[in-house]
Amino acid sequence: SAAGSWWSNAVVYQIYPRSFADSNADGIGDLPGIIQRLDHLARLGVDVLWLSPVCPSPHDDNGYDISDYQDIDPLFGSLDDFDRLLAAVHGRGMKLVMDLVVNHTSDEHPWFTGSRDAGPGGPKRDWYIWRPARPGMEPGTPGAEPNNWQSFFSGPSWTYDEESGEYYLHLFSRKQPDLNWENREVRQAVHTMMRWWLERGVDGFRMDVINLISKDPALPDGHMAEGSRYGDGSPYYICGPRIHEYLAEMHREVFAGHPRRLLTVGEMPGVTTEEAKLFTDPQRRELDMVFQFEHVGLDQGPGGKFDVRPLKLTDLKASLGRWQTGLAETGWNSLYWNNHDQPRVVSRFGDDSPAYRDRSAKLLATVLHLHRGTPYVYQGEELAMANTAFTTIDDFRDIESLNHYRDRIALGADEEKILAGLRHRSRDNARTPMQWDATEHAGFTAGTPWIAVNPDHTTVNAKAQLADPDSVFHYYRRLIALRHTEPALTDGDFRMLYPEDEQVYAFTRHDRGRGTDLLVLANFSGDDRTVTLPEGWANTETLIANVPDTAPLADSHTLQPWEARVHRRR
Ligand code: TEU
Ligand code: CA
């Protein structure tokens, strides 16, 4: 198995540069700002920094629409700034992983403008996915798109180019045309660019929607659910026919035999445990680990991510438990609650009221970090940053949210209902500025922030928490230290307890080699809950807990609301 690899006891910290630290008062975070705040990461004890995109971009999707893969967007700084950041990260013994966005480019990338302007048969035409209108339909009219696929960002997945009379495919926004990975030239250009970053000294890549790069060449229509205007193309692009071939080729061309210890993680919407085993089996030399999406899809209805439903704890346990079991012998899990696409977990799966925000944030961190896999901490998660109070649609910035709003309102949806869904699920919840201190704009910028700072920054901020030994920050620091010192976190077998219980999340980790056992108990509720422990856990050592120890652990224990505790026995 992958245990024993350097990253199997590493913790990764994700920075969304736009919202982390602004050094030049333009209201947008930048690389010099990150350099000024690296001590925060060093204090936390994280091993790897994953940097969301900083390459030149029109920022239609906040940098996930890249127009030049080998430079730095002036908004974030320069290549010199990047080299200084890399040196500072390495100087602190940490590694830096770039965000590789190669399922698509920006429509302002020269590859695309060349492909579009040269017209059919032009030199780079086949670098993207161009198709004529559906047979018998008037090009450019609704329904004439080559197939019925829905975009992730509302509307069709095809945009008509008047000049050439053809459509180009974009699974995301119309300014994010999909690259044609069937084309060897495209793959070679991507490999060359990746090697260029490795030679610059970066330590690996987080690969954006990398399991979408291989499409069914027939690009067939997807199933259209009752009443929807577009079809679901996902069976034809999620883990498509040549995906393993492409990743094995990428490994050979870019990573094989590299002298430095690298990290590759593939972001894979819709991936199953079976496929993830293939992607992360070290013998297959494809990827080290993947981000799966099952657990962040459990609290939504058939209407998609903005169709908000309550989470059932047994669903969460079944899902995460399945991923623990699925990758126990072969492959490796990534562990996350948060990233720049997910609402803040303390508001989503915890209780962000003043009474229980900190305690439930510590509980969520305990449960996640005690699983087997590599934990990812998203900026602000270590402070229990919560969802913000969006009032009107003008408070939002994210193209996914704005397109959803316009699309539904145009179809006559009730505005308050749409706004309610956005307040719960909008990616902007994760993108409010990092809360450094209680001053105006939370110390993020001396200018006007590109998106409003959460008003709770007066109490929820890094400065206050650094000074409070009982803070969420220090709890995360202790959890991360545990991963570096207690091998059972890395190697221990996972076993779920009380799987049918809707309130308590509990499991054990058994380190066969050293005979160490860990027990994790977590009360995912605002009510007391008495549990009878498995044999042999009375009077065992408390490794970490989010409430003070009152008495030694007995054969049964009454968990307080949102109490989490970890015990160890040798
Ligand atoms: O996300 C892909 C993706 O699946 C998300 O868009 C997710 O499906 C959606 O937000 C619903 O939760 C990656 C990046 O992380 C995201 O920021 C980009 O917008 C997207 O790809 C396109 O590059
Ligand atoms: Ca700035």
pLDDT 10s digits, 143-182: 999 999 999 999 999 999 999 999 999 999 999 999 999 9
pLDDT tier, 1 (very low <50, low <70, confident <90, very high otherwise): low
Measured distance CA(84)–CA(199) in Å, rounded: 15
CA–centroid distance, 206 to ligand 2, in Å, is: 24
Strands 166-169 and 158-161, how do they pair? antiparallel
Contact 41, 158 (CB under 8 A): no
The set of residues, in sequence order, having a beta carbon less than 8 Å from that of 208 and lying 6+ positions away, is: 64, 99, 100, 101, 102, 103, 267
Best CA proximity match to 120, nearest among 111, 131, 136: 131
Strands 529-532 and 12-15, how do they pair? unpaired
pLDDT at 359: 98
Q: How many CB atoms lie within 10 A of CB 163?
A: 9
Phi, psi angles (nearest 5°) of residue 321: -65, -40
CA–centroid distance, 371 to ligand 1, in Å, is: 25
- Mean pLDDT over 516-540 rounds to 97
Q: Which ligand is nearest to the CA of 153?
A: 1
CA–centroid distance, 25 to ligand 2, in Å, is: 6
Measured distance CA(521)–CA(508) in Å, rounded: 9
* CATH 3.90.400.10 residue ranges for the chain: 110-169
pLDDT higher than threshold 90 for residue 4: no
Give the residue whose CA is nearest to atom 9 of ligand 1.
341
Measured distance CA(182)–CA(497) in Å, rounded: 46
CA–centroid distance, 560 to ligand 1, in Å, is: 37
E strands, 293-438, are 300-301, 304-308, 334-335, 374-378
For residue 464, give the amino acid letter: A
Best CA proximity match to 521, nearest among 558, 480, 474: 558
Please, is 301 exposed, middle or buried when counting C-beta atoms within 10 Å of its C-beta (0-12, 13-18, 19+)? Answer: exposed
Phi, psi angles (nearest 5°) of residue 433: -55, 145
Measured distance CA(35)–CA(54) in Å, rounded: 14
Measured distance CA(249)–CA(478) in Å, rounded: 40
What's the token pair of residue 33? 């700002």
Give the residue whose CA is nearest to atom 20 of ligand 1.
64
Q: Which residue of 209, 271, 296 sits with most ligand 1 atoms within 8 Å of its CB, as the best mutation to test the pocket?
A: 209
Q: How many CB atoms lie within 10 A of CB 421?
A: 22
Task: Count Cβ neighbours within 10 Å for each residue of 469-507 and write b for 16 or more, e otherwise.
Answer: eebbbbbbbbbbebbeebbbbbbbebebbbeeeebbbbb
pLDDT tier, 550 (very low <50, low <70, confident <90, very high otherwise): confident
Give the residue whose CA is nearest to atom 10 of ligand 1.
341
Task: Count Cβ neighbours within 10 Å for each residue of 527-560 and write b for 16 or more, e otherwise.
Answer: eebebebeeebeebeebbbbbeeeeebeeebebb
Measured distance CA(108)–CA(57) in Å, rounded: 8
Sign of CA dihedral 409, 413, 416, 421: negative
β-bridge mates for residue 107, sequence order? none
pLDDT at 143: 95
CA–centroid distance, 483 to ligand 1, in Å, is: 29
Looking at ligand 1, which atom is closest to the CA of residue 399? 19
Contact 53, 100 (CB under 8 A): no
Phi, psi angles (nearest 5°) of residue 396: -90, 155
Computed over every residue of the chain, the mean pLDDT equals 97
pLDDT at 2: 64
Looking at ligand 1, which atom is closest to the CA of residue 340? 17
For residue 395, give the amino acid letter: D
Measured distance CA(415)–CA(56) in Å, rounded: 35
At the second CATH level, the architecture of 110-169 is: Alpha-Beta Complex (3.90)
Q: Which ligand is nearest to the CA of 36?
A: 2
Give the residue whose CA is nearest to atom 18 of ligand 1.
64
CA–centroid distance, 341 to ligand 1, in Å, is: 6
Q: Which ligand is nearest to the CA of 151?
A: 1
Q: DSSP code of 506?
A: E
Measured distance CA(8)–CA(2) in Å, rounded: 7
Looking at ligand 1, which atom is closest to the CA of residue 339? 15
Render pLDDT for 329-367 as a digit per residue (tens, 0 to 9).
999 999 999 999 999 999 999 999 999 999 999 999 999
**Three-state DSSP class for 198?**
helix
Render pLDDT for 204-235 as a digit per residue (tens, 0 to 9).
999 999 999 999 999 999 999 988 999 999 99
E strands, 145-298, are 158-161, 166-169, 204-207, 263-267, 289-291
Give the residue whose CA is nearest to atom 12 of ligand 1.
341
What's the token pair of residue 109? 């990338």
The set of residues, in sequence order, having a beta carbon less than 8 Å from that of 388 and lying 6+ positions away, is: 428, 429, 432, 452, 454, 455
Task: Give the predicted TM-score (pTM) of the model.
Answer: 0.98
Measured distance CA(116)–CA(166) in Å, rounded: 9
CA–centroid distance, 43 to ligand 1, in Å, is: 30
> What is the DSSP annotation of 432-496?
SPP--SSSGGGGS-SS--SSPPPGGGGTS-HHHHHT-TTSHHHHHHHHHHHHHH-HHHHHPEEEE
* CATH 2.60.40.1180 residue ranges for the chain: 493-569
Strands 130-131 and 158-161, how do they pair? unpaired
225 vs 110, 229, 232, 233, 303, CA distance in Å?
Answer: 37, 8, 8, 12, 10
Give the residue whose CA is nearest to atom 23 of ligand 1.
64
Which residues are near ligand 1 (CB < 6 Å)? 61, 64, 101, 152, 172, 208-209, 267, 269, 305, 340-341, 400, 427
Q: Which ligand is nearest to the CA of 338?
A: 1
pLDDT at 58: 98
The set of residues, in sequence order, having a beta carbon less than 8 Å from that of 457 and lying 6+ positions away, is: 435, 437, 438, 442
pLDDT at 227: 87
Catalytic site positions? 208, 267
- Mean pLDDT over 73-81 rounds to 98
Say yes or no: ipTM exceeds 0.85: yes
* CATH 3.20.20.80 residue ranges for the chain: 12-105+204-218+263-474
Q: Could you tell me the CATH superfamily of domain 12-105+204-218+263-474? A: Glycosidases (3.20.20.80)
Measured distance CA(96)–CA(85) in Å, rounded: 9
For residue 514, give the amino acid letter: R
Render pLDDT for 366-410 as a digit per residue (tens, 0 to 9).
999 999 999 999 999 999 999 999 999 999 999 999 999 999 999
Domain 493-569 has CATH 2.40.50.140: no
